[in-house]
Chain A
Protein backbone atom coordinates (compact mmCIF):
# COMPACT_ATOMS: atom_id res chain seq x y z
CA UNK A 1 0.00 0.00 0.00
CA UNK A 2 1.26 3.42 -0.96
CA UNK A 3 1.61 6.24 1.51
CA UNK A 4 -0.60 9.14 0.42
CA UNK A 5 0.89 12.56 1.21
CA UNK A 6 -1.01 15.76 0.49
CA UNK A 7 0.92 18.99 -0.02
CA UNK A 8 -1.40 21.78 1.04
CA UNK A 9 -1.44 25.30 2.52
CA UNK A 10 -4.75 27.11 2.28
CA UNK A 11 -3.08 30.21 0.90
CA UNK A 12 -2.01 30.39 -2.73
CA UNK A 13 1.45 31.16 -4.03
CA UNK A 14 3.36 29.86 -1.04
CA UNK A 15 5.11 27.06 -2.92
CA UNK A 16 2.80 24.04 -2.86
CA UNK A 17 3.46 22.92 -6.40
CA UNK A 18 7.19 23.64 -6.19
CA UNK A 19 7.32 21.61 -2.98
CA UNK A 20 5.16 18.77 -4.32
CA UNK A 21 7.41 18.50 -7.38
CA UNK A 22 10.60 18.61 -5.33
CA UNK A 23 9.40 16.12 -2.73
CA UNK A 24 8.05 13.68 -5.32
CA UNK A 25 11.30 13.89 -7.28
CA UNK A 26 13.37 13.46 -4.13
CA UNK A 27 11.43 10.39 -3.07
CA UNK A 28 11.83 8.90 -6.55
CA UNK A 29 15.57 9.63 -6.61
CA UNK A 30 15.83 7.63 -3.37
CA UNK A 31 14.39 4.62 -5.18
CA UNK A 32 10.74 4.92 -4.19
CA UNK A 33 8.11 4.38 -6.86
CA UNK A 34 6.32 7.72 -6.71
CA UNK A 35 3.43 9.39 -8.48
CA UNK A 36 2.53 13.06 -8.10
CA UNK A 37 -1.04 14.13 -8.85
CA UNK A 38 -2.11 17.67 -9.72
CA UNK A 39 -5.48 18.36 -8.03
CA UNK A 40 -5.61 21.95 -9.24
CA UNK A 41 -8.17 21.29 -11.97
CA UNK A 42 -8.56 24.39 -14.14
CA UNK A 43 -5.24 25.93 -13.07
CA UNK A 44 -2.83 23.20 -14.09
CA UNK A 45 0.75 24.05 -13.10
CA UNK A 46 2.50 20.91 -11.96
CA UNK A 47 3.25 19.81 -15.53
CA UNK A 48 5.13 23.07 -16.11
CA UNK A 49 7.19 22.74 -12.94
CA UNK A 50 7.96 19.13 -13.85
CA UNK A 51 8.78 20.11 -17.42
CA UNK A 52 6.35 17.68 -19.04
CA UNK A 53 3.72 20.10 -20.34
CA UNK A 54 4.29 19.04 -23.93
CA UNK A 55 3.55 15.43 -23.19
CA UNK A 56 0.12 15.84 -21.58
CA UNK A 57 -2.57 13.92 -23.48
CA UNK A 58 -5.06 12.76 -20.88
CA UNK A 59 -5.56 14.03 -17.36
CA UNK A 60 -7.03 13.23 -13.95
CA UNK A 61 -10.55 14.25 -15.00
CA UNK A 62 -10.41 11.98 -18.06
CA UNK A 63 -9.44 9.08 -15.81
CA UNK A 64 -12.18 9.82 -13.27
CA UNK A 65 -14.79 10.07 -15.99
CA UNK A 66 -13.63 6.84 -17.61
CA UNK A 67 -12.41 8.45 -20.82
CA UNK A 68 -8.84 7.23 -20.36
CA UNK A 69 -6.99 4.62 -18.36
CA UNK A 70 -4.49 5.48 -15.65
CA UNK A 71 -1.62 4.11 -17.74
CA UNK A 72 -2.58 6.38 -20.63
CA UNK A 73 -2.84 9.49 -18.48
CA UNK A 74 0.30 9.06 -16.37
CA UNK A 75 3.45 10.66 -17.72
CA UNK A 76 6.80 9.10 -16.90
CA UNK A 77 9.38 11.63 -15.76
CA UNK A 78 12.31 12.12 -18.15
CA UNK A 79 14.93 12.19 -15.39
CA UNK A 80 13.75 9.53 -12.99
CA UNK A 81 12.09 6.34 -14.08
CA UNK A 82 10.57 5.86 -10.63
CA UNK A 83 8.53 9.03 -10.99
CA UNK A 84 5.18 9.51 -12.71
CA UNK A 85 3.02 12.58 -13.08
CA UNK A 86 -0.78 12.62 -13.31
CA UNK A 87 -1.69 16.07 -14.61
CA UNK A 88 -4.85 18.06 -13.93
CA UNK A 89 -7.24 19.20 -16.61
CA UNK A 90 -6.91 22.81 -17.67
CA UNK A 91 -10.29 23.08 -19.38
CA UNK A 92 -12.52 21.77 -16.59
CA UNK A 93 -13.25 22.92 -13.07
CA UNK A 94 -13.09 21.32 -9.64
CA UNK A 95 -16.67 20.06 -9.85
CA UNK A 96 -15.44 17.48 -12.35
CA UNK A 97 -13.78 15.64 -9.45
CA UNK A 98 -15.89 13.21 -7.46
CA UNK A 99 -15.06 11.62 -4.13
CA UNK A 100 -15.65 8.13 -5.52
CA UNK A 101 -13.60 8.87 -8.62
CA UNK A 102 -10.66 10.19 -6.61
CA UNK A 103 -10.87 7.22 -4.27
CA UNK A 104 -10.74 4.75 -7.16
CA UNK A 105 -7.75 6.48 -8.75
CA UNK A 106 -5.88 6.51 -5.43
CA UNK A 107 -6.72 2.87 -4.69
CA UNK A 108 -5.52 1.77 -8.14
CA UNK A 109 -2.29 3.77 -7.80
CA UNK A 110 -1.79 2.43 -4.29
CA UNK A 111 -1.15 -1.06 -5.60
CA UNK A 112 1.70 0.00 -7.82
CA UNK A 113 3.41 2.88 -6.02
CA UNK A 114 5.21 3.49 -2.72
CA UNK A 115 4.26 7.16 -2.45
CA UNK A 116 1.36 9.15 -3.86
CA UNK A 117 1.90 12.92 -3.60
CA UNK A 118 -1.27 15.01 -3.97
CA UNK A 119 -0.61 18.61 -5.01
CA UNK A 120 -3.57 20.49 -3.53
CA UNK A 121 -5.08 23.63 -5.00
CA UNK A 122 -5.19 26.76 -2.84
CA UNK A 123 -8.30 27.51 -0.82
CA UNK A 124 -10.41 25.37 1.45
CA UNK A 125 -13.13 24.43 -1.00
CA UNK A 126 -13.95 21.23 -2.80
CA UNK A 127 -10.68 20.82 -4.71
CA UNK A 128 -8.55 21.25 -1.61
CA UNK A 129 -10.84 19.03 0.47
CA UNK A 130 -10.72 16.22 -2.09
CA UNK A 131 -6.93 16.46 -2.26
CA UNK A 132 -6.59 15.97 1.49
CA UNK A 133 -9.51 13.62 2.13
CA UNK A 134 -7.66 10.33 1.62
CA UNK A 135 -4.26 11.45 2.91
CA UNK A 136 -2.14 9.52 5.40
CA UNK A 137 0.27 12.41 5.88
CA UNK A 138 0.15 16.11 5.12
CA UNK A 139 2.89 18.59 4.32
CA UNK A 140 1.58 22.03 5.23
CA UNK A 141 3.51 24.64 3.26
CA UNK A 142 3.81 27.97 5.07
CA UNK A 143 5.59 31.24 4.32
CA UNK A 144 6.95 33.36 7.18
CA UNK A 145 4.07 35.82 7.10
CA UNK A 146 0.96 36.14 9.23
CA UNK A 147 -1.63 35.53 6.51
CA UNK A 148 0.05 32.33 5.43
CA UNK A 149 0.30 31.09 9.01
CA UNK A 150 -3.37 31.77 9.63
CA UNK A 151 -4.41 29.92 6.45
CA UNK A 152 -2.19 26.98 7.37
CA UNK A 153 -3.87 26.90 10.75
CA UNK A 154 -7.24 26.73 8.99
CA UNK A 155 -6.07 23.84 6.81
CA UNK A 156 -4.80 22.01 9.89
CA UNK A 157 -8.30 22.30 11.29
CA UNK A 158 -9.71 20.72 8.14
CA UNK A 159 -7.11 17.95 8.20
CA UNK A 160 -8.25 16.99 11.66
CA UNK A 161 -11.97 17.12 10.88
CA UNK A 162 -12.70 16.71 7.18
CA UNK A 163 -10.46 13.81 6.23
CA UNK A 164 -11.40 10.17 5.87
CA UNK A 165 -9.16 9.29 8.80
CA UNK A 166 -11.01 11.81 10.97
CA UNK A 167 -14.43 10.65 9.82
CA UNK A 168 -13.62 7.01 10.44
CA UNK A 169 -12.07 7.81 13.80
CA UNK A 170 -8.74 6.29 12.75
CA UNK A 171 -5.30 7.53 13.72
CA UNK A 172 -5.17 11.17 12.58
CA UNK A 173 -3.26 12.40 9.54
CA UNK A 174 0.42 12.91 10.36
CA UNK A 175 1.00 16.64 9.92
CA UNK A 176 4.34 18.14 8.88
CA UNK A 177 5.25 21.81 8.68
CA UNK A 178 7.30 22.94 5.68
CA UNK A 179 8.40 26.57 5.88
CA UNK A 180 9.34 28.00 2.49
CA UNK A 181 10.77 31.34 1.29
CA UNK A 182 12.60 31.76 4.58
CA UNK A 183 15.05 34.64 4.51
CA UNK A 184 17.13 34.85 7.71
CA UNK A 185 18.26 38.40 6.88
CA UNK A 186 14.70 39.63 6.73
CA UNK A 187 13.80 37.68 9.85
CA UNK A 188 16.60 39.49 11.66
CA UNK A 189 15.28 42.80 10.34
CA UNK A 190 11.84 41.94 11.67
CA UNK A 191 10.24 41.85 8.19
CA UNK A 192 9.44 38.15 8.42
CA UNK A 193 8.10 35.94 11.15
CA UNK A 194 10.79 33.81 12.66
CA UNK A 195 10.66 30.06 12.67
CA UNK A 196 9.91 29.79 16.38
CA UNK A 197 6.85 32.05 16.09
CA UNK A 198 5.46 29.94 13.26
CA UNK A 199 6.08 26.71 15.11
CA UNK A 200 4.51 28.05 18.28
CA UNK A 201 1.25 28.94 16.57
CA UNK A 202 0.92 25.91 14.32
CA UNK A 203 2.23 23.46 16.92
CA UNK A 204 3.18 20.66 14.52
CA UNK A 205 6.49 18.98 13.68
CA UNK A 206 8.83 20.79 11.32
CA UNK A 207 9.81 18.67 8.33
CA UNK A 208 11.79 21.26 6.43
CA UNK A 209 12.96 24.82 6.08
CA UNK A 210 13.48 26.05 2.53
CA UNK A 211 15.42 29.31 2.18
CA UNK A 212 14.26 32.00 -0.20
CA UNK A 213 16.39 31.32 -3.24
CA UNK A 214 16.84 32.43 -6.81
CA UNK A 215 17.29 28.78 -7.65
CA UNK A 216 13.57 28.15 -7.10
CA UNK A 217 12.36 30.61 -9.73
CA UNK A 218 15.04 29.45 -12.15
CA UNK A 219 14.02 25.83 -11.64
CA UNK A 220 10.32 26.60 -12.14
CA UNK A 221 10.91 28.40 -15.38
CA UNK A 222 13.17 25.66 -16.66
CA UNK A 223 10.75 22.93 -15.70
CA UNK A 224 13.33 21.10 -13.60
CA UNK A 225 12.33 20.48 -9.97
CA UNK A 226 14.73 22.46 -7.78
CA UNK A 227 15.85 19.36 -5.90
CA UNK A 228 17.87 18.38 -9.00
CA UNK A 229 19.95 21.53 -8.43
CA UNK A 230 21.95 19.95 -5.63
CA UNK A 231 24.40 22.83 -5.52
CA UNK A 232 21.66 25.26 -4.54
CA UNK A 233 20.56 25.96 -0.98
CA UNK A 234 16.91 25.31 -1.81
CA UNK A 235 17.77 22.03 -3.54
CA UNK A 236 19.72 20.84 -0.51
CA UNK A 237 16.98 21.95 1.86
CA UNK A 238 14.41 19.92 -0.12
CA UNK A 239 16.74 16.91 -0.04
CA UNK A 240 16.87 17.24 3.77
CA UNK A 241 13.07 17.47 3.80
CA UNK A 242 12.74 14.24 1.84
CA UNK A 243 15.14 12.51 4.24
CA UNK A 244 13.00 13.59 7.19
CA UNK A 245 9.81 12.43 5.45
CA UNK A 246 11.47 9.03 5.07
CA UNK A 247 12.12 9.00 8.78
CA UNK A 248 15.77 10.04 8.91
CA UNK A 249 17.06 12.48 11.49
CA UNK A 250 18.79 15.33 9.69
CA UNK A 251 20.01 18.56 11.33
CA UNK A 252 18.24 21.77 10.33
CA UNK A 253 20.17 24.05 7.98
CA UNK A 254 19.69 27.52 6.50
CA UNK A 255 18.03 28.91 9.62
CA UNK A 256 20.55 31.65 10.27
CA UNK A 257 22.33 34.14 8.08
CA UNK A 258 25.00 32.51 5.91
CA UNK A 259 28.26 34.40 5.68
CA UNK A 260 29.17 34.44 2.03
CA UNK A 261 32.79 34.73 0.95
CA UNK A 262 34.19 37.42 -1.28
CA UNK A 263 34.27 35.20 -4.37
CA UNK A 264 30.68 34.12 -3.92
CA UNK A 265 29.60 37.71 -3.48
CA UNK A 266 31.45 38.83 -6.60
CA UNK A 267 30.00 36.12 -8.79
CA UNK A 268 26.52 36.08 -7.26
CA UNK A 269 25.75 32.46 -7.80
CA UNK A 270 22.01 32.47 -7.10
CA UNK A 271 22.20 31.16 -3.61
CA UNK A 272 24.68 28.41 -4.50
CA UNK A 273 27.17 27.61 -1.85
Chain B
Protein backbone atom coordinates (compact mmCIF):
# COMPACT_ATOMS: atom_id res chain seq x y z
CA UNK B 1 0.00 0.00 0.00
CA UNK B 2 1.33 3.30 -0.95
CA UNK B 3 1.09 6.23 1.39
CA UNK B 4 0.58 8.56 -1.54
CA UNK B 5 -2.69 7.37 -2.88
CA UNK B 6 -4.15 8.69 -6.04
CA UNK B 7 -6.57 11.49 -5.39
CA UNK B 8 -9.22 9.85 -7.53
CA UNK B 9 -9.29 6.86 -5.16
CA UNK B 10 -10.56 8.78 -2.21
CA UNK B 11 -14.12 9.93 -1.92
CA UNK B 12 -13.17 12.37 0.85
CA UNK B 13 -10.48 13.47 3.18
CA UNK B 14 -10.87 14.59 6.78
CA UNK B 15 -9.51 17.98 7.57
CA UNK B 16 -9.46 19.92 10.81
CA UNK B 17 -11.05 23.32 10.52
CA UNK B 18 -11.93 26.27 12.69
CA UNK B 19 -15.15 27.81 11.49
CA UNK B 20 -16.76 30.90 12.90
CA UNK B 21 -19.82 29.79 14.82
CA UNK B 22 -22.48 31.68 16.67
CA UNK B 23 -23.15 30.40 20.14
CA UNK B 24 -26.66 30.96 21.42
CA UNK B 25 -26.20 31.08 25.14
CA UNK B 26 -29.52 30.20 26.70
CA UNK B 27 -30.42 31.73 30.02
CA UNK B 28 -33.83 30.11 29.98
CA UNK B 29 -35.10 26.76 28.72
CA UNK B 30 -38.60 28.08 28.10
CA UNK B 31 -39.31 27.86 24.34
CA UNK B 32 -41.93 30.60 24.54
CA UNK B 33 -39.55 33.11 26.09
CA UNK B 34 -36.96 32.26 23.46
CA UNK B 35 -39.58 32.70 20.75
CA UNK B 36 -40.58 36.12 22.06
CA UNK B 37 -36.99 37.33 22.20
CA UNK B 38 -36.10 35.95 18.78
CA UNK B 39 -39.07 37.71 17.23
CA UNK B 40 -37.71 41.01 18.51
CA UNK B 41 -34.20 40.29 17.26
CA UNK B 42 -35.33 39.35 13.77
CA UNK B 43 -36.87 42.77 13.26
CA UNK B 44 -33.64 44.45 14.45
CA UNK B 45 -31.18 42.43 12.39
CA UNK B 46 -32.99 40.45 9.72
CA UNK B 47 -29.73 39.80 7.82
CA UNK B 48 -28.47 37.71 10.65
CA UNK B 49 -31.30 35.18 10.44
CA UNK B 50 -30.48 33.50 7.13
CA UNK B 51 -30.21 29.84 8.06
CA UNK B 52 -27.36 30.76 10.34
CA UNK B 53 -25.87 27.72 12.06
CA UNK B 54 -25.88 28.08 15.84
CA UNK B 55 -24.61 26.10 18.78
CA UNK B 56 -27.08 26.04 21.65
CA UNK B 57 -25.19 26.53 24.86
CA UNK B 58 -27.19 25.35 27.87
CA UNK B 59 -24.40 25.67 30.42
CA UNK B 60 -26.21 28.39 32.34
CA UNK B 61 -29.37 26.33 32.72
CA UNK B 62 -29.34 24.16 35.78
CA UNK B 63 -32.08 21.74 34.81
CA UNK B 64 -31.62 18.05 34.02
CA UNK B 65 -34.30 17.99 31.29
CA UNK B 66 -34.92 20.52 28.56
CA UNK B 67 -37.53 20.81 25.87
CA UNK B 68 -34.75 20.63 23.32
CA UNK B 69 -36.98 19.59 20.45
CA UNK B 70 -39.28 22.57 20.93
CA UNK B 71 -36.34 24.97 21.35
CA UNK B 72 -34.91 23.72 18.06
CA UNK B 73 -38.26 24.14 16.35
CA UNK B 74 -38.47 27.75 17.56
CA UNK B 75 -34.99 28.43 16.23
CA UNK B 76 -35.73 26.90 12.85
CA UNK B 77 -38.91 28.89 12.62
CA UNK B 78 -36.69 31.99 12.87
CA UNK B 79 -34.19 30.71 10.31
CA UNK B 80 -31.55 29.68 12.77
CA UNK B 81 -30.15 26.17 12.28
CA UNK B 82 -29.15 24.50 15.53
CA UNK B 83 -26.22 22.19 14.74
CA UNK B 84 -25.05 21.23 18.19
CA UNK B 85 -25.60 21.61 21.90
CA UNK B 86 -22.93 22.60 24.37
CA UNK B 87 -23.02 21.58 28.02
CA UNK B 88 -25.95 20.33 30.04
CA UNK B 89 -26.78 17.13 31.84
CA UNK B 90 -26.54 13.59 30.51
CA UNK B 91 -30.24 13.43 29.47
CA UNK B 92 -29.70 16.68 27.53
CA UNK B 93 -26.76 15.10 25.74
CA UNK B 94 -28.82 12.01 24.90
CA UNK B 95 -31.71 14.02 23.53
CA UNK B 96 -29.32 16.17 21.45
CA UNK B 97 -27.99 13.02 19.83
CA UNK B 98 -31.53 11.71 19.34
CA UNK B 99 -32.34 14.94 17.47
CA UNK B 100 -29.32 14.47 15.24
CA UNK B 101 -27.38 17.31 16.87
CA UNK B 102 -23.76 17.22 17.97
CA UNK B 103 -22.80 17.65 21.60
CA UNK B 104 -19.84 19.61 22.98
CA UNK B 105 -18.56 19.48 26.54
CA UNK B 106 -19.03 22.67 28.56
CA UNK B 107 -16.54 25.41 27.90
CA UNK B 108 -13.71 25.70 30.37
CA UNK B 109 -14.54 28.35 32.88
CA UNK B 110 -12.00 31.10 32.61
CA UNK B 111 -11.43 33.34 35.56
CA UNK B 112 -11.28 36.53 33.51
CA UNK B 113 -14.38 38.43 34.31
CA UNK B 114 -14.43 40.39 31.10
CA UNK B 115 -14.94 37.27 29.07
CA UNK B 116 -18.01 36.27 31.01
CA UNK B 117 -20.43 38.13 28.84
CA UNK B 118 -24.12 38.39 29.56
CA UNK B 119 -26.14 35.67 27.92
CA UNK B 120 -27.86 37.73 25.34
CA UNK B 121 -25.10 39.80 23.87
CA UNK B 122 -23.40 36.80 22.25
CA UNK B 123 -26.42 36.28 20.10
CA UNK B 124 -26.29 38.99 17.51
CA UNK B 125 -23.71 41.26 16.03
CA UNK B 126 -22.64 44.70 17.07
CA UNK B 127 -25.60 46.55 15.62
CA UNK B 128 -27.94 44.88 18.02
CA UNK B 129 -25.47 44.64 20.83
CA UNK B 130 -24.82 48.34 20.98
CA UNK B 131 -28.23 48.85 22.42
CA UNK B 132 -28.17 45.85 24.69
CA UNK B 133 -29.63 46.83 28.02
CA UNK B 134 -27.42 44.54 30.04
CA UNK B 135 -24.59 46.11 32.01
CA UNK B 136 -21.25 45.75 30.30
CA UNK B 137 -18.45 44.71 32.65
CA UNK B 138 -15.87 47.31 33.51
CA UNK B 139 -12.88 47.43 31.17
CA UNK B 140 -14.95 46.12 28.29
CA UNK B 141 -15.56 48.42 25.39
CA UNK B 142 -18.97 48.96 23.87
CA UNK B 143 -18.89 46.43 21.07
CA UNK B 144 -17.95 43.65 23.48
CA UNK B 145 -14.26 44.38 23.18
CA UNK B 146 -11.71 44.79 25.88
CA UNK B 147 -9.25 47.39 27.07
CA UNK B 148 -6.07 46.29 28.83
CA UNK B 149 -3.96 48.86 30.62
CA UNK B 150 -0.32 48.08 31.34
CA UNK B 151 2.43 45.92 29.93
CA UNK B 152 1.48 42.49 28.57
CA UNK B 153 4.38 40.33 29.71
CA UNK B 154 6.01 37.21 28.36
CA UNK B 155 3.72 34.21 28.85
CA UNK B 156 0.61 36.31 29.29
CA UNK B 157 -2.26 36.04 26.88
CA UNK B 158 -4.88 38.76 26.62
CA UNK B 159 -7.85 38.09 24.42
CA UNK B 160 -11.11 39.69 23.40
CA UNK B 161 -13.47 36.92 22.32
CA UNK B 162 -15.70 39.55 20.77
CA UNK B 163 -14.91 42.94 19.35
CA UNK B 164 -11.59 44.75 19.46
CA UNK B 165 -8.75 44.51 21.91
CA UNK B 166 -7.06 47.72 22.95
CA UNK B 167 -3.76 47.50 24.80
CA UNK B 168 -2.50 50.68 26.40
CA UNK B 169 1.09 49.70 27.03
CA UNK B 170 3.71 47.39 25.56
CA UNK B 171 3.24 43.82 24.36
CA UNK B 172 6.53 42.15 25.23
CA UNK B 173 8.31 39.23 23.50
CA UNK B 174 6.60 35.97 24.37
CA UNK B 175 3.25 37.64 25.07
CA UNK B 176 0.17 37.07 22.93
CA UNK B 177 -2.76 39.38 22.22
CA UNK B 178 -5.84 38.11 20.37
CA UNK B 179 -9.16 39.55 19.31
CA UNK B 180 -12.20 38.56 17.31
CA UNK B 181 -11.99 42.07 15.89
CA UNK B 182 -8.96 44.30 15.54
CA UNK B 183 -5.97 44.58 17.84
CA UNK B 184 -4.79 48.07 18.81
CA UNK B 185 -1.55 48.47 20.71
CA UNK B 186 -0.68 51.93 21.99
CA UNK B 187 2.92 51.03 22.67
CA UNK B 188 5.62 48.77 21.26
CA UNK B 189 4.35 45.47 19.83
CA UNK B 190 7.10 42.91 20.43
CA UNK B 191 5.01 39.77 20.97
CA UNK B 192 2.39 37.98 18.90
CA UNK B 193 -0.77 39.72 17.72
CA UNK B 194 -3.70 37.88 16.19
CA UNK B 195 -6.73 39.76 14.90
CA UNK B 196 -9.92 38.30 13.44
CA UNK B 197 -9.49 35.02 15.29
CA UNK B 198 -13.01 33.93 14.35
CA UNK B 199 -12.38 34.68 10.71
CA UNK B 200 -13.16 38.38 10.41
CA UNK B 201 -11.14 39.37 7.34
CA UNK B 202 -11.87 43.05 7.85
CA UNK B 203 -10.02 43.12 11.16
CA UNK B 204 -6.63 44.76 11.43
CA UNK B 205 -3.68 45.25 13.73
CA UNK B 206 -2.57 48.74 14.66
CA UNK B 207 0.48 49.52 16.73
CA UNK B 208 3.28 51.90 17.56
CA UNK B 209 6.81 50.53 17.18
CA UNK B 210 6.32 47.30 15.23
CA UNK B 211 8.60 44.48 16.37
CA UNK B 212 6.03 41.69 16.45
CA UNK B 213 7.06 38.05 16.62
CA UNK B 214 3.95 37.18 14.66
CA UNK B 215 1.14 39.10 12.98
CA UNK B 216 -2.04 37.32 11.96
CA UNK B 217 -5.34 38.49 10.52
CA UNK B 218 -8.05 35.84 10.07
CA UNK B 219 -5.45 33.09 10.01
CA UNK B 220 -3.11 34.67 7.45
CA UNK B 221 0.14 35.40 9.17
CA UNK B 222 3.59 36.89 8.87
CA UNK B 223 6.53 36.03 11.09
CA UNK B 224 9.05 38.58 12.23
CA UNK B 225 11.49 37.51 9.54
CA UNK B 226 8.82 37.93 6.85
CA UNK B 227 8.23 41.55 7.81
CA UNK B 228 9.91 44.19 5.69
CA UNK B 229 12.74 45.47 7.93
CA UNK B 230 11.91 49.02 6.85
CA UNK B 231 8.65 48.73 8.75
CA UNK B 232 10.26 47.64 12.01
CA UNK B 233 10.07 50.28 14.69
CA UNK B 234 7.36 52.19 12.81
CA UNK B 235 3.76 52.95 13.65
CA UNK B 236 1.82 50.71 11.31
CA UNK B 237 -1.48 49.18 10.36
CA UNK B 238 -1.79 45.61 9.18
CA UNK B 239 -4.70 44.63 6.92
CA UNK B 240 -5.66 41.61 4.86
CA UNK B 241 -5.75 42.34 1.13
CA UNK B 242 -6.04 39.66 -1.54
CA UNK B 243 -5.08 36.96 0.95
CA UNK B 244 -1.87 38.79 1.84
CA UNK B 245 -1.04 40.76 4.94
CA UNK B 246 -0.28 44.33 3.96
CA UNK B 247 1.71 46.40 6.40
CA UNK B 248 1.60 50.13 5.87
CA UNK B 249 2.93 53.02 7.90
CA UNK B 250 0.51 55.15 9.86
CA UNK B 251 1.46 58.69 9.13
Contact = CB atoms under 8 A, between A and B. Distances in A.
Interface of A: 124, 146, 150-151, 153-154, 156-158, 160-161, 201, 203
Contacts of A153: 153-155, 172-175
Contact of B156 (A146, A157, A201, A203): A157
B interface SS class: loop
Contact of A157 (B155, B170, B173): B155
Interface string B113-140: 0000000000000000000000000000
A202 to B, nearest CB: 8
* Secondary structure of the A contact surface, majority rule: helix
Nearest to B111: A161
Contacts of B170: 201, 203
- Interface size class on chain B is 10 to 19
B237 interface: no
Interface string B69-85: 00000000000000000
Nearest to B187: A203
Which of A124, A150, A160 has most B Cβ within 10 Å?
A: A150
B95 interface: no
B154 A150 contact: yes
Contacts of B156: 157, 161
Nearest to A161: B156
A175 to B, nearest CB: 11
24 contacts: A124-B155, A146-B173, A150-B154, A150-B173, A150-B174, A151-B154, A153-B153, A153-B154, A153-B172, A153-B174, A153-B175, A154-B153, A154-B154, A154-B155, A157-B153, A157-B154, A157-B156, A160-B153, A201-B170, A201-B172, A201-B173, A201-B190, A203-B151, A203-B170
